[in-house]
Amino acid sequence: MTPATPKPETITRKQSIIQPEPDTGKPLVFNTKGLNLYYGKTHALKDIHLPIAENEVTAIIGPSGCGKSTYLKALNRMVEMVESVKITGEVLYRDSNIFDRSFKVEELRTRVGMVFQKPNPFPKTIFDNVAYGPRIHGIRDKKTLKQIVEKSLRGAAIWDEVKDRLDENAYSLSGGQQQRICIARCLAIEPDVILMDEPTSALDPKSTMKVEELVQDLKEKYSIVIVTHNMQQAARISDKTAFFLNGEVVEYDATDTIFSNPSDKRTEDYISGRFG
């Protein structure tokens, strides 16, 4: 197999970031600069500045309706499915603005995978679910597909549970298993970044734990942005945390700092459960 294109060596950081930016020295996959988003007249995201570093888990927390899901969906431009949406500002993915006219949204989404709140496997067999992406990209060879499916299912820590039932409909699995199938489906196209939109909110505690462990493993190879309702989850699995409130980034820092020593009063109120 041919190796993936080498990742760009240099990342420029000319733009000043409003939030104190923890210097990790890691290159950025995403850099959001002055992003504003409107649903009709509702100003849903207000002047967002946010860096997202490679091979880290970035958690986005905040109360319902704070814009955290909207922000996540802006990163792969899924937010454009809403007809009335309007966007200004820029989001750089590996140095190119994803909202540029020349930027192909399909290409972006090939590099940036997404896992949804509710597991949404296709009504196909487990094998076909995972092989779906590679087939779209022109891989027809049965042997290669089998290898990809196995690798992706292993990557999603579900291979042992489903290896004997790859021909069964994905809907015969439990909710937690379905979610990991969706992660495997995402891994099969070897993305650069994985966006996760409250991936465990529909799952029981045991499945949640499995997905959390999986996220920890995945960050070795992928950069992960995870929106979560659950602050303990953010504290457990993320390296960086951004706190959203009313469409703004209130605070962004290393997760440890956010949870032990927040600099903004509102962050403190939220993580100590005073609202939200």
Partner 1 sequence: MLKAGSVKEMIQQKKKATSSTSVIEKAVPVLLFTAAFISVLTTIGIVFTLIIETILFFRQVSIAEFFSGTVLRPLSRVEPQYSILPLIMGTMMTTIIAMLVAIPVGLTTAVYLSEYASTGARKVLKPMIEVLAGIPTIVYGFFAFTFVTPVLREVIPGLASTNALSPGLVMGIMIIPMVASLSEDAMSSVPNAMREGALAMGCTKFEVTFRVVIPAAISGIIASFVLGISRAIGETMIVTIASGSTKNFTFDVTQSMQTMTAYIVEVTSGDAAAGTTIYYSLYAVAMTLFVFTLTMNMLARYISRRFREVY
Partner 2 sequence: MEYIDIDRVKKRMDKRLFINKMVKGIFFASAMFGLVVLAILLYRVIADSIGWISMDFLTGLLSTSAERAGIRGAIIGTLWLMAIVGPVTMILGVGTAIYLEEYAKKGKIHSIIQTNIANLAGVPSIVFGILGLTIFVRLFGLGASVIAGGLTMSLLVLPIVVVAAQEAIRSVPSHLREASYGMGATKWQTIKNVILPASIAGILTGVILALSRAIGETAPLVVIGIPALLIPVPTNVTDNFTALPMQIYYWTLDAVLVAEYANLAAATIVVLLIVLFILNSAAILIRNKFSKRY
Binding site for partner 2 (CB under 8 A): 1-5, 104, 106-107, 110-111, 134, 136-139, 144, 147-148, 151, 189-190
Does position 182 bind partner 1 by CB under 8 A?
Answer: yes
Say if residues 101 and 87 touch (Cβ distance below 8 Å): no
Residue 109, burial from CB neighbour count under 10 angstroms (0-12, 13-18, 19+): middle
179 — alpha (psi -120 to 50), left (phi > 0) or beta? alpha
Residue closer to partner 1 (CB basis): 189 or 226: 189
Distance between CA atoms of 42 and 44, rounded to whole angstroms? 6
Does position 39 bind partner 1 by CB under 8 A?
Answer: no
Among 20, 11, 10, 88, smallest CA distance to 50 is for 20
Distance between CA atoms of 249 and 234, rounded to whole angstroms? 16
Residue closer to partner 1 (CB basis): 33 or 122: 122
Residue closer to partner 1 (CB basis): 121 or 262: 121
Does position 124 bind partner 1 by CB under 8 A?
Answer: yes
Residue closer to partner 1 (CB basis): 166 or 271: 166
Judged by beta carbon distances under 5 to 8 A according to partner kind, the member of partner 2, partner 1, none in contact with residue 144 is partner 2
Amino acid, single-letter form, for residue 161: E
Which of 62, 133, 199, 262 touches partner 1 by CB under 8 A? 133
Say if residues 51 and 2 touch (Cβ distance below 8 Å): no
Among 72, 55, 59, 64, smallest CA distance to 255 is for 59
Does position 113 bind partner 1 by CB under 8 A?
Answer: yes
Does position 107 bind partner 1 by CB under 8 A?
Answer: yes
Report in angstroms how near the CB of residue 56 gets to partner 2 at its nearest: 21
Judged by beta carbon distances under 5 to 8 A according to partner kind, the member of partner 2, partner 1, none in contact with residue 1 is partner 2
Judged by beta carbon distances under 5 to 8 A according to partner kind, the member of partner 1, partner 2, none in contact with residue 25 is none
Residue closer to partner 2 (CB basis): 86 or 111: 111
Distance between CA atoms of 11 and 59, rounded to whole angstroms? 22
Does position 199 bind partner 1 by CB under 8 A?
Answer: no
Distance between CA atoms of 66 and 251, rounded to whole angstroms? 13
* Residues 6 or more apart in contact with residue 62 via CB below 8 angstroms: 68, 243, 244, 245, 270, 276
Residue closer to partner 1 (CB basis): 169 or 257: 169
Amino acid, single-letter form, for residue 20: P
Where along the sequence are the contacts to partner 1 (CB under 8 A)? 76, 78, 81, 83, 105-111, 113-114, 116, 118, 120-124, 132-133, 135-136, 171, 182, 185-186, 189
